């Protein structure tokens, strides 16, 4: 008689069950949805800082004035542009500002919120100019995980 050694069906099912439990625990611990949301928020933070830096560079080059052809970031009479825009709010109105003059001299490309399609006509970011203090704030209203992403200078 020859005896062959082999795994029984119960042993194989037990090993598969343990692997499934471990894989489930690892997926819950890693939480890929949260990790992707954190990555998108990091991109939003980078974009907000880049937009604000570009705006300030334009203003520095123009003796403290916003000089983008056809727009003023505190104007209330601007029509919506047909180029990539940023929503700007002031004490009196909400308008859309053409920031395409930032590209390519100040930014390699105009940042777009990661939750928007790349063909969007809006950046998905907001700009606030406080006329009483002269401070400019750029925010990401679509931030995830209950975060507030704003940069002010």
Written as one string, the DSSP assignment of 90-145 is -SS-EEEEE-GGGTTTT-SS----TTS-TT-SEEEEEEEEETTTTEEEEEETT-ST
Computed over its alpha carbons, how large is the radius of gyration of the chain?
26
**Chain segment 127-147, per-residue pLDDT in tens:** 887 777 778 888 898 899 999
| pLDDT < 70 positions in the chain | 1-2, 69-96
**pLDDT number for residue 90:** 54
Give Dmax over CA atoms of the chain in angstroms.
98
- 102 and 58 in contact (C-beta within 8 Å)? yes
**pLDDT number for residue 20:** 95
**pLDDT number for residue 76:** 36
3-state helix, strand, coil in the chain (%, to 5): 35, 20, 45
* β 122-130/94-98 pair status: unpaired
**pLDDT number for residue 61:** 85
pTM recorded for the entire structure = 0.70
In the chain, where the domains are located: 13-152
**pLDDT number for residue 43:** 95
**Chain segment 115-127, per-residue pLDDT in tens:** 888 777 778 888 8
């Amino acid at each position: 008689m020859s005896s062959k050694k082999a795994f029984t069906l119960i042993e194989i099912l037990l090993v598969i069950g343990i692997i499934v439990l471990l894989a489930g625990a690892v997926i819950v611990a890693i939480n890929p949805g949260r990790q992707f949301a954190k990555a998108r928020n990091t991109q939003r933070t980078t974009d907000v800082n880049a937009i604000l830096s570009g705006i300030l560079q334009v203003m520095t080059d123009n003796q403290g004035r916003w000089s983008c052809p056809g727009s003023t970031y505190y104007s209330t009479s601007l029509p919506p542009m047909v180029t990539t825009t940023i929503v700007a709010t002031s004490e009196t109105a909400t308008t859309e500002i053409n920031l395409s003059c930032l590209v390519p001299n100040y930014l390699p490309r105009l940042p777009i919120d990661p939750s928007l399609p790349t063909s969007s006509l809006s950046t998905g970011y907001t700009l606030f100019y406080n006329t009483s203090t002269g401070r400019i704030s750029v925010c990401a209203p679509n931030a995830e995980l209950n975060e507030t992403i704003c940069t002010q200078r």
